């Protein structure tokens, strides 16, 4: 279906919506994006005729979508925690299930707390926390310079104060005189190398290094857990997103490192998607 006939110039918006080859919602999103029209304008201007340039641009967008390219990359943004986040192929597309991570973090952050988002990507988690809780001192790191540029753009767009740092996990933080963080949060690469999902759907187009650790899916989670005690205050929380079948393994890793109140939380589909624990005072 990727070789569908081009949208002809001179066609009305109403006819373009009817003849475009995607489902009604995706047709509306892409036509609205191509013509820079809101949903209401698509209705009120339904008899407007497409110019040759508009028809060409729209046909190109539709063809890219039919080839599987994610809607979020085509339009350049995705909503997350009620905020429109810029996304590019340099970052993962924020997903609704990850909002659970933000909700859990907000519940556990004290007034004027200090938080760290590891592997921030688009910055969605850090920006959502900082936007909701401007009292929080939010730091976010990523090894990808391209991702950090997207994240910084999202922070500026929403007036969220976030300090961004290029770092391979904890490397750039260095040694600290005393633990200073109230919370560490992360959605690291956790898909097992060779998993069939990596060659399906939107994942085909997303940055591979942000999806998989090229190993057992737990290596990044181990690094985060192993290093957290050096930076977390007593009673500080570590919260991490992980795969649908990794909760038991992550809880075990947390317990082995002495975390207390170790538990997992379920996402919108009822899957244990986030696990975490609190650093006890004895640590």
> DSSP states of 127-140 as a string?
HHHHHH-TTSEEEE
Q: pLDDT, tens digit, for every residue of 121-157?
A: 999 999 999 999 999 999 999 999 999 999 999 999 9
Give the torsion through C-alpha atoms of 4, 7, 11, 12, to 10 deg: 90
What pLDDT is stored for residue 283 in this prediction? 45
Q: pLDDT, tens digit, for every residue of 196-237?
A: 988 898 999 999 999 999 999 999 999 999 999 999 999 999
Per-residue pLDDT at 2 exceeds 60: no
Q: Quote the percentage of the chain above a pLDDT of 70.
A: 98
Determine the topology of domain 89-278 in CATH. Rossmann fold (3.40.50)
User: What is the average pLDDT score of the chain?
Assistant: 94
For residue 120, CA distances in Å to 84, 90, 133, 152, 206 come to 16, 12, 17, 10, 15
Non-local (6+) Cβ contacts of 270 within 8 A are none
The CA distance from 111 to 55, in Å, is 52
Per-residue pLDDT at 103 exceeds 90: yes
The CA distance from 2 to 21, in Å, is 9
pLDDT-derived band at 282 (thresholds 50, 70, 90) equals low
What pLDDT is stored for residue 1 in this prediction? 46
Q: Which residue has the tokens 């973090």?
A: 105
Q: Residue 239 in contact with residue 184, Cβ under 8 Å?
A: yes
3-state secondary structure of 235: strand
Tell me the helices (H) and strands (E) count for the chain, helix number first.
Answer: 10, 9
The CA distance from 196 to 201, in Å, is 10
The CA distance from 143 to 278, in Å, is 26
Furthest-apart CA pair in the chain: how many Å?
73
pTM assigned to the model: 0.92
pLDDT-derived band at 102 (thresholds 50, 70, 90) equals very high
> φ and ψ at 193, to 5 degrees?
-55, 135
Sorted by where each begins, the domain ranges of the chain are 13-67, 89-278
Q: pLDDT, tens digit, for every residue of 245-277?
A: 999 999 999 999 999 999 999 998 999 999 999
Burial status of residue 179 (CB atoms within 10 A of its CB: 0-12, 13-18, 19 or more): middle
250 or 4, which is more confident: 250
The CA distance from 237 to 76, in Å, is 33
Q: Which residue has the tokens 């996402």?
A: 267
């Amino acid at each position: 279906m990727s070789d569908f006939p081009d949208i002809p110039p001179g066609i009305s918006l109403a006819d373009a919506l009817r003849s475009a080859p995607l489902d009604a919602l995706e047709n509306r999103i892409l036509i609205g994006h191509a013509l820079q029209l809101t949903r209401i304008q698509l209705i009120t201007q339904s008899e407007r005729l497409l110019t040759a340039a508009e028809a060409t641009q729209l046909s190109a967008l539709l063809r890219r979508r039919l080839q599987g390219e994610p809607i979020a990359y085509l339009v350049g943004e995705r909503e997350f925690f009620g905020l429109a986040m810029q996304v590019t192929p340099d970052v993962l597309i924020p997903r609704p299930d990850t909002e659970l991570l933000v909700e859990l973090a907000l519940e556990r952050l004290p007034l004027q707390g200090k938080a760290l988002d590891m592997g921030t990507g688009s910055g969605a988690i850090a920006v959502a926390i900082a936007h909701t809780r401007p009292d929080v001192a939010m730091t976010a790191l990523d090894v990808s310079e391209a991702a950090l540029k997207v994240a910084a753009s999202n922070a500026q767009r929403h007036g969220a104060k976030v300090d961004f740092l290029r770092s391979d996990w904890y490397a750039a933080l260095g040694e600290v005189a005393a633990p200073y963080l109230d919370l560490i949060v992360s959605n690291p690469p956790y898909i097992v190398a060779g998993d069939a999902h990596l060659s399906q759907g939107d994942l085909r187009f997303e940055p591979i290094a942000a999806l998989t650790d090229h190993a057992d899916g737990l290596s990044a989670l181990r690094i985060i857990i192993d290093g957290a005690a050096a930076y977390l205050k007593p009673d500080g929380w570590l919260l991490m997103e992980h795969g649908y079948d990794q909760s038991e393994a992550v809880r075990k890793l947390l317990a082995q490192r002495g975390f207390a109140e170790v538990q997992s939380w379920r996402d919108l589909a009822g899957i244990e998607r986030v696990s975490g624990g609190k650093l006890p005072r004895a640590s």
